[in-house]
Amino acid sequence: MENKTAVITGGSRNIGLAIAEKFYTLGYNVAILSVSENSAKKAATNIDNTGNKVIGYRCDVTDVSCVEETLANINSHFGGIDILVNSAGILDMASIEETSIEEWDNVMAVNLRGTFTMIQKSIKYLEKSKHPRIINLSSNSGRMGGFENGMAYSASKGGIIALTYGLARRLAKQRITVNCIAPGTIESDMSAARSPEVLKKLKERFPLERFGTPKEVAAAACYFASDDAGFTTGSVLDVNGGLFMG
């Protein structure tokens, strides 16, 4: 894996960070993207302080020019891009009645449009790779609507699954596989934002009676990124403790 480069949006925290750490241990070059430059660089330094294998970049996935510039810089630094992991996302927990247009648009801009923009602008780099991979992060709420999150979040995550299916068909001729991970509730900043009462109710719904960990989601990403997954595209892998089975 020494010559492969992975780009991970939302890579400075939670699931994205766990994927970055795991990819690094497997020998990948890793570009960590975050809307905060300090967070991106700090995460990169904590993984590898040499500045050679892991680099942090500020990138706002809602800003097309920023995405284009960041990808060009990564390609220039590492000499190519082989894997794109779209992990950047924001949560909303507003009720249907209280969801504002601004909040709806913001969640869609980051979670859904940001994912598409990253993919769209990465294609010209990925198609030069011998084993190009796109890995999207959806959610259990995109599978079955969720229980406690807002509708903007559910809709954006459902959109990511549909996007995965469509892109897998369209990009197959370029040998680019497109797959998706749909986690259930994971121990993260997002879950920590919920009240203890809500967390208790959520945990009771899981057949395995616990939440998942970022490392368990990272393990799924490792499969999709591997050479062994070359015949797997358009798949959604549920890492959710049995909450959704279908």
Answer whether residue 39 shows pLDDT above 60: yes
Instruction: Render pLDDT for 7-28 as a digit per residue (tens, 0 to 9).
Output: 999 999 999 999 999 999 999 9
Whole-prediction pTM value?
Answer: 0.94
Give the span between the Cα atoms of 48 and 156, in whole angstroms.
33
Instruction: Render pLDDT for 85-126 as a digit per residue (tens, 0 to 9).
Output: 999 999 998 999 999 999 999 999 999 999 999 999 999 999
Instruction: Render pLDDT for 141-198 as a digit per residue (tens, 0 to 9).
Output: 999 998 878 999 999 999 999 999 999 999 999 999 999 999 988 887 766 667 787 7
Structural domains for the chain: 5-239 (3.40.50.720)
Q: Which residues, in sequence order, are bridge partners of residue 136? A: 86, 180
Q: Does the annotation mark 165 as catalytic? A: no
Answer whether residue 235 shows pLDDT above 80: yes
**Which two three-digit tokens encode residue 32?**
């960590």
Ranges of H-type helices in 99-208:
101-108, 114-126, 140-144, 151-171, 189-192, 196-205
Question: Coil, strand or helix: which one is 219?
Answer: helix
Q: Out of 24, 28, 153, 165, which one is annotated catalytic?
A: 153
Answer whether residue 204 shows pLDDT above 60: yes
Mean pLDDT of all residues belonging to the chain = 94
Give the span between the Cα atoms of 6 and 24, in whole angstroms.
9
Question: Average pLDDT, stretch 20-48?
Answer: 97
